[in-house]
Chain A
Amino acid sequence: MRIFQTIWGKLWLILFCLALLSLPLWADPYIIYMVNISGIAVIAAIGLNILTGLTGQISLGHAAFVAIGAYTSAILASKLNTPFWLTIPAGGIVAAFFGILLGFPCLRLKGLYLAMATMSFGVVVEYGITHWDSLTMGVRGISVPAPTIFGYTLGDPSKLFYVTIFFVTILTLGAKNLARTRIGRAFVAIRDRDVAAEVIGINLTKYKVMAFAISSFYGGVAGGLYSYSTTYLHPENFTLLLSIEYIAMIIIGGLGSILGSIFGAVFLTAMPDIIKGFADFMGRQFVFLHGRYDEEWNIAAFGLLIMIFLIVEPTGLNGIWTRIKTSFKNWPFTY
């Protein structure tokens, strides 16, 4: 609780929690579904932000860890009938294992070279999933049974919602605590100056691999939740484009900030709907634009948004949020 220091902060937190927890009672099922998907994106984005934002190791292969987590829990659930409260953490652990495997060869790589290496890992995983038919069902896809607990089915979004929120809460608090203690500081030290970090006693090998492991664990858990949420997995869900979406989330949200990852993930998940709504609105206003909306616009919009944020607001949504907060706090003075 000490993360939220003021009374107002706590009050808003309680109100937010109440609104969120009672969501299935009053909200539209589509909104609940969107919240689930956002929650999953939040977990994956926090994971990537620990690796890329805090530790400074660029990864273009995050979708691969999400895929590994998703397929692990899907296979465990469909073939071995494992309950969901085991398969989701198992997805995380298997992904973390692959993260460690990838972390060791990547120790000496930086910047572009690391981006290339992680990207190739993503391609390899995608290939593996597509062609290992006996295990992953290949391009036919794999369907995931609805999760059950004590004989009670949690299939529809409004029930799965609580599972997602549980994992989001635990993992977000965990990441926040990690970021403000010894391990988080060591990560940032490696990002800022690795020689100095080593001289003050930080074991680079250990902490870089640890960052990979934690990041891919988050990715894996997100994948596990994703498999239950979509109930059907296909290799095409986990392409390079998904990795780029995660990168976009943390850049737009704010690199190295946990709150930023949440902002970025929610914003980018909701964005297709925002664009669609905007296109519909424009279509109604101007006849010649009617019906011109195309799914491909989303991809163009991602690119445009990343560009705008990199140029105009490098600290992301989190930076904007901090600025608004400070200006309110200092009002009526300018600083």
Chain B
Amino acid sequence: MELLEIKNLSLRFGGIIALTALDMTVREGELHAVIGPNGAGKTSLFNCISGVYHPTLGEILLRGENISHLKPNEIAEKGIARTFQNIELFANMSVIDNLMLGCHTHMTSGILSCSLFFGKALRQEEESRLQVERIIDFLEIEKVRKKAVGSLPYGIQKRVEFGRALAMKPKILLLDEPVAGMNVEETEDIARFVLDIKEEMGITIIMVEHDMGVVMDIADTVTVLDFGSKIGEGSPLEVQSNPKVIAAYLGQ
């Protein structure tokens, strides 16, 4: 079943064309990779889906509902979470607080309840904290849970960012270069987490990645972008043998 459908999506900044007439379909439960050379428009696509940019033309349909005009926080409430290429964590806060912020949309307590720390606020704080602890267990970051995020190494920060996205209990998780800048061991860890998220939690994943080894190993479907338009789509094997894709990557 189609969970996310992108129709005729175009994004322009003045004379610069970031995306042209892009069509893409993401089925429920799959791991969909988006690849392409630098400047192909992968991150622009993510920014459109998560509402940071609003597309010039076209539609983004989440279960048939157009979300392309919504604000980022409204899209987050619809169940789309993302991580960023350059880590965007709240560096002065602890790991727990960062993850608790991920639960923000699932909490509803208002000013009065919060300032009294009573009733709904207390109950929701406890529930969210329990959920956060489960995610911390899952990502194996128990030891650093009370440390300020800014003081942690890069690989751990990436995991915390995963955790914050998972705390949002998303339907779709957008991962922007999850293994960029990591060594082989860290890459394997992250790949394992990504597969676990897909299989155990049943979350649909869209992933931008340059590490072809990871993409070919774990992706179900691959979409290839170049200069803002789609040049190939299919299973990893099909994409590898697509002459257009080879041309784009090898520059022939």
Contacts and interface: CB of A to CB of B under 8 A. Distances in A.
Interface of A: 173-175, 177-178, 180-186, 188-189, 192-193, 195-204, 210, 214
Top 4 nearest A-B pairs (CB, nearest first) are A201-B76, A201-B105, A174-B115, A196-B88
A177 B115 contact: yes
A214 to B, nearest CB: 7
Nearest to A186: B104
A33 to B, nearest CB: 29
Contacts of B190: none
B164 interface: yes
Given A177-B116, A196-B84, A199-B72, 15 more contacts: A173-B115, A178-B111, A181-B109, A181-B114, A181-B117, A182-B100, A182-B114, A185-B100, A198-B71, A198-B72, A199-B88, A200-B105, A200-B168, A201-B168, A203-B73
Contacts, number: 96
B111 A186 contact: no
Interface residues of B, number: 36
17 contacts: A175-B115, A185-B100, A188-B93, A189-B90, A192-B91, A195-B72, A196-B88, A196-B89, A197-B90, A198-B52, A198-B71, A199-B73, A200-B102, A201-B76, A202-B104, A203-B71, A203-B73
B248 interface: no
B92 interface: yes
B223 interface: no
Contacts of A178: 111, 114-115
Contacts of B81: 200
Given A189-B101, A200-B168, A195 B52 contact: yes
Nearest to A193: B88
B32 interface: no
Contacts of B93: 185, 188-189, 192
Contacts of B92: 188, 192
Contacts of B115: 173-175, 177-178
A117 B117 CA distance: 34
A182 B76 contact: no
Contacts of A174: 115-116
B97 interface: yes
B20 interface: no
B239 to A, nearest CB: 29
B125 interface: yes
Contacts of B121: 177, 181-182
A193 to B, nearest CB: 5
B111 A201 contact: no
B45 to A, nearest CB: 15
Contacts of A180: 117
Interface string B76-96: 110001101000111111000
B50 interface: yes
Nearest to B149: A192
